[in-house]
Structure 1
């Protein structure tokens, strides 16, 4: 086995580069994103409009002239909360499902979209839910994306999106990627949030969609399909699943720089790659890491975040026709602000 000293040597080299950077790199990243989004007149829906973190972030977004926040909820409650927080709603749009004048049109569109799976009466009740109502605003082109999850579960955010917005053509499942940033280093980890046991086709889709996410952050994709094996060093159903995924992804996008199956060190450390995978197109310089399952992905990003000191931005939901993104219930105002910028960027 290749010693861990080479892995730590590579980490030390990259850390020394980061120490030369004076500006907070994550803030610099989002400053660039803010510049890209400004001028596109994006409208982003916030279905949890009385949450103080949401209102504060929405106020900043509006005052920075980055995008137009679209607040969904009880009109009186939103106005009372904003007044208590001394926040102006002047640059925001507010929709109250209980008094929305276009509700009949929305109900008909929802019933048609659900293809008879709900009645008009059921749709009337469902669309009083801010997440469903907000998702329909996106579907009906009254907004460009949605951010929720500060006070709801992931299922509450994702379910309406899957039922209404649905997947892009050629994509079967949504997935959740994280941007991992520290110093001048930027990586994308996926899937860390949605698919528990993806098959080969799922992993191929995750790789391709993650490459699109990476480009949004000016990362030129080099995708590693991760496993506990490198190029057949171990043989099992799990390793074959990953190698098959790499083949499928290359068939879908022959121009994408991608390889697998690879162990992490063979994907990350050039010296290790020379020994374990000398023919690999990655050459130990991967910047997108596709994990074989949710166990590995979720654990992996949290190790990088907590032990490695990387900023974890996401999850960024991939594969939907229009962007919908899920906040953690433990999110901060800054998290809301950042995810709104990402959502707006996805819609461009």
Structure 2
């Protein structure tokens, strides 16, 4: 039976989109096919939340099946033919969706200009008729702890008295100063869990792009990243520059007449220096700076929006103060913030258990990525990123922090990192005074760090047999890769990820010299997690060892099986060759055969087959012909290549030709986790690799 969750509020302004996004995240971790149904909709264009869900979770659902009926049509039908007729129609349309999916997320009515009487009762009845569990959201904007607790209790009473199966209660947008008291007043007072989510200003803040759209402004300067910045406040420019600059606040939109070149340049210069990072500059009175000022603005803060409107400051302000940010497909950073907020304040394991969604037997790429994030967050670790000034690293760091995946140390000149983050509109929370239990970031400059002297002495001692002196080591440890590796060695970080701009050798060599191999490993090797449409395979070794001998190949297989198991892939190991079973001979086949025997001797409990060809390893029909009765053939999950040439070419061929997502390389065999990135790594690749590194650190 399809499992359905109905999310509803009791009024406007509850920000329930955060909860809807969070629940979709939980559902897609469990099952492959999740549908969306909104019983009642406004007939004024596409549904922005569904478009966000469709983009983020790659939903294939036809948008025309998402909606039940327009509010105006529903009100007319209810008035003419009664509530029963309206409910019957919506039930039929819901079941048309439910029949196609393993789970359905139902989005309740929005209480905005609906013309429907007794809207709360209608949501209750629909949830019951759909057979859906209910997750009510109570808005807490501007309320104290007592008021919030009373509203939550009253809402719970109202829904349960209507016979609803209430999963949990959520109070959202609660003033931060009241959140803890509200939680204390509600914990254990109701028969269901209660979660309290504090107000997050960046979620209700409009982006610069939304300001442009609302005002019909002209964009004079600014790239997509700049337009995606959140506007956390407004600063109106009227004073002279010395008095104006101290008034700037992080994330503010500067509003000034377009002829105030001093304020324009001063604001952008302050942003470039990182103190503070502004959202942009809005020019009023239809005044445009001259070409010299525009050229200077471009050099000072590339990407920072400079927008213009014809009106004056007062009417512009009147429009802006009523503008609220929205979660849309065009605001992916807001979605990361929303999920981070949800996952920080909701016991997702408890809520998932109450959802009672049976986990799918298939493992899709998205489910695998979700699992990485969830496991990393469950026991948060600290990862050092040596390439702290690189754009992709900064963008990945923002995602990791927003999702509370791990604490981070970025290496590099702090002013350069702040300036680069400001140019990109990336918020790393470096100036935050409170973090409320969330992940935090810091910046360390190896050149000026007090740790440099100690690290030089340590490295000189480790490499004394190679003639290393403290004076020489003083220069070596200023290199970000060596400095980051020493942080891991000394327990100042739990793991390191590098390679976005550095070579594999530059990343791995310090680890070989400083961290060294684990006692049970003969060599350091690697695996890729190959995320295919319906399963995840583990490929090893495709990145490190050019031509391992039989014992090294066996070690790679054993380590790869442990890595697979650690990340939820049941190991069935195929030792690959150009020959299957006893059909071929030759030095290369014999190496694989001996390696297979060694694996069986060391791990008699492990399912392993070899030599075996790739098609016999993964295709059940081929396996039935070539190796009938094998416990591995046709269903292998860990594929061990005989050499680097074969492995590297195969993983790239599968990645490009089959559209697989390749996560890795993940290094194995080191005493502490250090992982390398491809220099073509995307932001999501970096996020996944950092999450894997954090999970490896948990195992240490």
Query: TM-score, normalized by length of structure 2?
Result: 0.46
Q: What is the correspondence of 1:294-313 to structure 2 with a 5 Å cutoff?
A: 294-313=644-663
Q: What is the Cα-based RMSD across aligned positions, in Å? A: 1.6
In 1, Cα distance between equivalents of 2:532 and 2:654: 10
In 2, Cα distance between the equivalents of 1:209 and 1:309? Answer: 26
Which whole-Å deviations, capped at 9, do the CAs of 1:304-342 have from their partners, x for residues lacking one?
111222111111111111111111111111111111111
Per-residue deviation, 1:196: 1.0
Q: Distance in 2 between matches of 1:311 and 1:59?
A: 22
- Residue 446 of structure 2 corresponds to residue 107 of structure 1: no
Of residues 383, 386, 410, the one that matches 1:47 is: 386
Shift of 1:69: 1.2
2:567 maps to 1:217: yes
Rounded to whole Å, the distance in 2 between the matches of 1:159 and 1:77 is: 26
Which of 465, 474, 498 is the matching residue for 1:148?
A: 498
Deviation at 1:277, TM superposition (A): 2.1
Residue matched to 2:465: 116
Q: Where do residues 276-315 of structure 1 align in structure 2 (5 Å cutoff)? A: 276-278=626-628, 280-315=630-665
Q: 1:46 & 1:110 partners in 2: Cα distance? A: 20
Measure how far apart 1:232 and its partner are: 1.9
1:343 alignment partner in structure 2: 693
Distance 1:21 1:184, change over 3 A: farther
**Deviation at residue 190 of structure 1 after TM alignment:** 1.0
How far has the Cα of 1:48 moved from its partner? 0.5
Contact 2:540 2:556 in 1 (8 A): yes
**Correspondence list, 1:117-136, <5 A:** 117=466, 118-136=468-486
* Counterpart pick for 1:327 among 666, 677, 689: 677
Q: Which of 395, 401, 404 is the aligned partner of 1:65?
A: 404
Q: Would you say 1:78 and 2:427 are equivalent positions?
A: no
Instruction: Describe how 1:227-246 pairs up with structure 2 within 5 A.
Output: 227-246=577-596
Match 2:368 to one of 17, 29, 40: 29
Matches of 1:56 and 1:74, distance apart in 2: 17
Separation (CA, whole Å) in 2 of partners of 1:42 and 1:270: 40
Mapped partners of 1:115, 1:241: distance in 2: 37
- Contact kept in structure 1, 2:372 and 2:688, CA below 8 Å: no
- For residues 565 and 367 of structure 2, the distance between their equivalents in structure 1, rounded to whole angstroms, comes to 17
- Residue in structure 2 matched with residue 14 of structure 1 by the alignment: none
Q: Deviations over 1:222-254 (max 9, x none)?
A: 000000111221110110000000111112222
**Structure 2 residue 516 is the aligned partner of structure 1 residue 166:** yes
Secondary structure, in 3 states, of the residue corresponding to 1:38? helix
Once the 2 structures are TM-superposed, how far is the Cα of residue 115 of structure 1 from its aligned partner? Answer: 4.2
Q: CA offset at residue 59 of structure 1?
A: 1.4
With over 3 angstroms needed to count, the CA separation of the structure-2 counterparts of 1:122 and 1:334, relative to structure 1, is same
Using the alignment, how far apart are the partners of 2:476 and 2:626 within structure 1?
54
Q: Aligned equivalents of 2:680 and 2:633: distance in 1?
A: 38
Cα distance between partner residues in 1 of 2:681 and 2:652 = 15
Q: How far off is 1:21 after superposition?
A: 4.1
* Residues in 2 aligned to 1:83 and 1:272: alpha-carbon distance in whole angstroms: 56
Contact map agreement 1:176 1:318 (CA 8 A) in 2: yes
Higher relative contact order (CA 8 A, sep 6+): 1
CA distance in structure 2 between the partners assigned to 1:157 and 1:204 by the alignment:
25
SS of 2:392's partner is: helix
Contact 1:21 1:184 in 2 (8 A): no
Q: Deviations over 1:277-313 (max 9, x none)?
A: 2353313211111011111111111121112221111
Residue correspondence of structure 1 range 177-188 to structure 2 within 5 A = 177-188=527-538
Q: SS of the counterpart of 2:573?
A: strand
Report the Cα distance in structure 1 between the residues aligned to 2:606 and 2:658, rounded to whole angstroms. 28
Q: 1:201 aligns with which of 551, 558, 561?
A: 551
Deviation at 1:183, TM superposition (A): 2.5
Q: Which residue does the alignment assign to 2:608? A: 258
What runs of 5+ residues in structure 2 fail to find an aligned partner? 1-31, 35-56, 59-363, 431-439
Q: Distance in 1 between matches of 2:576 and 2:464?
A: 39
Aligned to 2:599: 249
Provide the rounded CA distance (Å) in 2 between the counterparts of 1:98 and 1:333. Answer: 27
The answer to which of 114-123 and 61-70 deviates more is: 114-123
Alignment correspondent of 1:97 = 446
Which range moves more in the overlay, 91-100 or 118-127?
91-100
C-alpha distance in structure 2 between counterparts of 1:102 and 1:189, whole Å = 38
Q: In structure 2, how many angstroms separate the alpha carbons of the residues matched to 1:251 and 1:113?
A: 35
* Matching residue of 1:191: 541
